[in-house]
Structure 1
C-alpha cells in the first residue's frame, strides 16, 4: 500500500508542519480511515488494536476544529471547548503530550485533570481559560460539583478506551459527564470492543455515527512474536526472569499484585539491573518519576501490574514478559501491546509453572495466538536470543539519609528505622500522618478518602479514583503494610527520599 500523507487527508497546514517537526509525515490505517469523517465534523466510532495510532486520529480533528474557530481568542474561564475522557492518569498524560504540540500550532492551551494530585494547579488552569481538557472521570466530576468547570461550551468530545472505562466501572460517571455537554457537539468514541455497556454510550450520545474498524477486537500485532516458556519450579523461573531482564533494551515485566511488582523491582535493582515499579500503591509523583526513569533509560526495566497494561506508551519497548500470566485474554492482548507499537517489532514471553499450563493454553486460544510451549533454563538458546546483548552490571545506588543540624541520637536512629519500615516517628506531624493515611485509604478503596488533615493533605486523597487499581487488584490480595507504608511505597532505589518533619527540624528518609 502506498504511503498516505496527512495533506492528502485534508489536515490543515499548521498541523502538517507540527506533525512533520515530530517526524510524522504519513498516516496509519486508523487515521486514514477516520480523518476524512472527523475533519468533516461527523460523529465517529473507531475500533482499532492497541498501538494503532488512535490518539492522533482524534487529536488532529479536535485541534483543527477548535483552532480554526478560536484563532487564539475569546476564551472563557472554566469553560473549555474540547474534552477528552481517559480511564487512567497515565493515558491522560500521554494524550496531552500528543495534543500539546498540535494545539500550540494554533495558540490553543491544554491541561490534564485527574486524581492523586492537588487540584490547585488544575483549578488555576481552568480559571485562566484553557481550551482543551484531558480528564479522568472521577476528578472531572469533582471539579464540576465544585463549579470550577462547566461543559456548556464543549464543541467536540472524545471518549478514549471506552471499553476500559467500562471494565473499571466508570461508565455511570462518563454518562453524567456526556449529559452535561451540548447535544449538538461532535463526539468521537474509540474502543477495542463494544461490550459491557459501551454500545449504550454509542446509542445514546453519538448521532448518525460512522464506524471505522481497522482491526478485529482480539487481533494482535503482526510484528509481535509470542513465546511460552515452561520451567520446573519457582526457583528456575526466578533465574529465567533475571536473565530475560538483563538485556540492554527496555522491558516491561507484568505481575499480578502490587506487592510482588515492588519486590521484583527491588530485587532486580539489587542484582545490578536498574528497575522501577508501577502500580496502584504509588502516589502520582512517584508514578511520574518511575515512568520518567524508564523513558529516559535510567531504568531499563519496568515492573508493573495491570495499571500499565493500557495507556502507557514508551518508545522501543522490545520485550514484554508475563511473569504472572493474566487471568483473561483481553488483559494479555493489552499487556502485550506495550511492545511492537506504531510499526515497530517486539516480543512477548509468558512464563508458566507446573499447574498453569491449561489456563495459559485457554488464554492464548481465546486471544487467537498459536504458540507451542517450550521447556527452558536460563541458558536455553530461546532465552538468550531474546536477551540479546547483556547490559553491564549497574551498582545499586545506596539509600542516603541526609541530616540537618548536627548529630543524631540513638532515639533518632531508632525513629529513622521505624520510618523505613513504615512506622510513624514521634515527631511526625499530624498533617503528614493524616495526609498519607488518607491517600492510602483512597488507593485501596477506589474512592476519595476523607482525611482529617489540611486542605493540602485532603487534595492528595483521590489517588485511586481514576487509576482503576481496585479493579486490577485480585480479590483476596493481602494489604501490604500500614497506610503510611502504602502511601510512600516507592519500590525503587532510584527514587528520591521524602522529607519528614521531626521536632522542628528536617531530615530525609529514603523510604
Structure 2
C-alpha cells in the first residue's frame, strides 16, 4: 500500500501484518498527501491510520530538527489518549530516526519545554498545554507539515474548539490535515470547512454500526443488590472496566470493591497525573484487575483483553455509551457489556439503547443469580483488603466515642453512649496489593453495603 518497508517490518514484529478497513481505505490518500476525513468507530484502528502516513511522509523528506519547531502535530482531547498515541508511534518513529514528544497538562512544563528546545519531529499534544507553550514562545507551529486531529468530536464536546482553531491558524495553510473521529457532526463540520482543503471522506462504519463480537445486557437490580452484583462480576477472571457518572462515584466504588476483596483502582479527573499513570499501569499489568472510571476512560484507553465493560451508572447520552462500551471487543476480539439499572432508570436505559442502535438482553435479577456466572465465567477470587479498608472483626466491640465535657453550668442533653467512630482511609492507597488470596463461588460475601451514585451530578473527567 506504499508504506515504507522499515515500517512494515516494525509492524510485523508487533504482530500486525494486514490493515484494518479504516487503514486500507485511507492510506492511499493520506500517503499521497491529500487532506482526509476519516470516520471509524472506537477500536477500529484509527491510530495507525494516521500514524503511518505521518511517519512515512516525514521520513521521505528528512530535515534537520529546529528548536521549538516540530514538523508534525497530533492533537488529542485527553492526556491518556495522547499518551497512548505516543506509545503507538514512538517505536515506529525510532526505527525511522524520528523523535516524538507528548505535551499535556497535569505534569511539569519544564521537561516539555526542554524537549521542544532540543528539537522534535512529532508533537502529540492536548490543546490547552500546547497553547501555553505557544504563548510563552517555547513552541512554534510555522514548520508543521502534517496536522492530525484525533477524536475531533470529543474535542468539540469538551469545549476545545476555540483553542484548536487558534492552534490550527498558526500552522501553514498548505500543510496536510487529517481528521479522524467516530462521528462527523456538529462542531467537527466547523473544523472541516475552515481548515481542510477538498478533503477525501472515508466512512468505514457508523458509530451506530453493531459490533458483531460484542454482546449487550441490561440488568435490572435493586439498590441493595447493586454492589453485590458488581462484586460478583468483577471478582471473575480477567480485566473489567467499570464506569460511573461522577468522580466521587468512581472513588467510592473503587474503595468498596477493594474492601470487598476485589483489587481495583480508580481513574478520574480529580487524580494527579502520576496517580492516573500509576493506576493505569496497575490495570495494564494485572496488579488491579478492575478499573473504576468516569468517562475520562471512554476514549483512548486501550488495554488488551478487557473482556467486560460495566456501566455501573447508565451514561447520560448514547455516544458516551458507545465509547465506553468500545473499550472491549476491540480489533475483532469478543467482549461483554453490562448496564446496571434500577426501576426508575428503566425508561432512560431503553431510550439510550434505542439511540445507540443496540438491542440488549434485559434481565431482572438479584445477587447470586446464575446469569452472573454466564456473563463473567470463572471462579471468583478475592484478596484480603488493606487493613484500613477491611471490616472490623465481628468479635471486637466497637470503640465508643468519647464525649467532650460540657461547659460548667450547662447540662448536655441526650445520651451519646454506644456511638462508634469510623476512620477515613486515604484515597491514594493502592488497592489489591496486600493480603493473601481466597476463592469463592458465584455467591457474594455477606454484609456488603449497596453502592449508589449521584445520577444527576455533573459528569467527571
- TM-score range, shorter-chain basis? 0.7 to 0.9
Say which SS state the counterpart of residue 332 (structure 2) adopts. coil
Q: In the alignment, does 2:125 pair up with 1:187?
A: no
Q: Are 1:84 and 2:74 an aligned pair?
A: yes
Match of 1:117 among 85, 90, 107: 107
Q: Is the Cα contact below 8 Å between 1:281 and 1:489 reproduced in 2?
A: no
1:111-150 superposed matches below 5 A: 111-150=101-140
Structure-2 residue corresponding to 1:203: 193
1:252 is aligned to 2:241: yes
Which whole-Å CA distance do the structure 2 matches of 1:398 and 1:125 have between them? 43
**Cα distance change of structure 1 residues 178 and 260 upon mapping to structure 2, 3 Å threshold:** same
**Residue 284, structure 1, aligned to residue 273, structure 2:** yes
The residue matched to 1:318 in structure 2 has which SS?
strand
Cα deviation 1:336-382 (Å, max 9, x = unaligned): 00000111110000111011110100000011111242111233232
Structure 2 residue 42 is the aligned partner of structure 1 residue 50: yes
Partner of 1:357: 346
Distance 1:372 1:393, change over 3 A: closer
What residue is the counterpart of 1:409 in the other structure?
Answer: none
Q: Distance in 2 between matches of 1:195 and 1:58?
A: 20
In structure 1, the gaps of 5 or more residues are: 1-8, 401-419, 423-487, 497-511
Partners of 2:241 and 2:69 in 1: how far apart? 39
How many angstroms apart in 2 are the aligned matches of 1:337 and 1:20?
25
Secondary structure of 2:372's aligned partner = helix
Cα separation, 2, equivalents of 1:283 and 1:365: 37
Does the aligned pair in 1 maintain the 2:258–2:432 contact within 8 Å? no
1:70-125 alpha-carbon deviations (Å, 9 max, x no partner) = 1xx51111000010000000000000001101101110000100000100111111
Q: 1:39 aligns with which of 31, 37, 44?
A: 31
Aligned: 1:155 with 2:93:
no
Which residue, out of 418, 421, 428, partners 1:490?
Answer: 428
Larger Rg: 2
For the Cα contact (< 8 Å) 1:274–1:298, is it kept in 2?
A: yes
Shift of 1:491: 6.2
Out of 56, 63, 71, the position equivalent to 2:55 is 63
Q: 2:313 aligns with which of 319, 324, 343?
A: 324
User: What residue ranges of structure 2 are gaps of 5+ in the alignment?
Assistant: 390-422, 435-461
TM-score normalised according to structure 1 size: 0.76
SS of the residue corresponding to residue 344 of structure 2 reads: coil
Q: Residue 211 of structure 2 aligns with which residue?
A: 221
SS of the counterpart of 1:253?
strand
Q: Once the two structures are superposed, what CA deviation does each residue of 1:24-45 show, in whole Å capped at 9, x if it has no partner?
A: 1111000000001101111000
Q: Is the 8 A contact 2:207 2:322 kept in 1?
A: no
Distance 1:209 1:358, change over 3 A: same
Instruction: Give the counterpart of 2:360 among 367, 371, 376.
Output: 371
Partners of 1:373 and 1:123 in 2: CA distance: 52
- Could you tell me how far apart the structure 2 residues matched to 1:329 and 1:490 are? 32
Q: Distance in 2 between matches of 1:204 and 1:102?
A: 31
CA contact (8 A) 1:85 1:136 kept: yes
Q: What residue number does 2:286 align with?
A: 297
1:25 maps to which residue? 17
Contact 1:245 1:251 in 2 (8 A): yes
Give secondary structure in 1 for the equivalent of 2:66: coil
8 Å Cα contact 1:269/1:275 also seen in 2: yes
The residue that corresponds to 2:83 in the other structure is 93
Partner Cα distance (1:251, 1:140) in 2: 33
CA-based RMSD of the aligned residues comes to 1.7
C-alpha distance in structure 2 between counterparts of 1:183 and 1:230, whole Å: 54
Give the match's secondary structure for 2:9.
helix
Q: CA deviation at 1:421?
A: 5.8
Deviations 1:281-305 (CA, angstroms, capped at 9, x unpaired): 0000000000000000000000011
CA–CA distance in structure 2, aligned partners of residues 38 and 276 of structure 1? 39
* Pair 493,381 (structure 1): closer, same or farther in 2 beyond 3 Å: closer
For the 8 Å contact 1:167–1:196, the answer to whether it is kept is no
Q: Give the conservation status (yes or no) of the 8 Å contact 1:276–1:492.
A: yes
Whether the 8 Å contact between 2:288 and 2:431 is mirrored in structure 1 is no
- Given candidates 231, 248, 261, the residue that maps to 2:250 is 261
Contact 2:311 2:339 in 1 (8 A): yes
Aligned 8 A contact 2:7 2:95 in 1? yes
Deviation of 1:145 after TM superposition, in Å, equals: 0.2
Which stretch has the larger CA shift, 364-373 or 340-349? 364-373
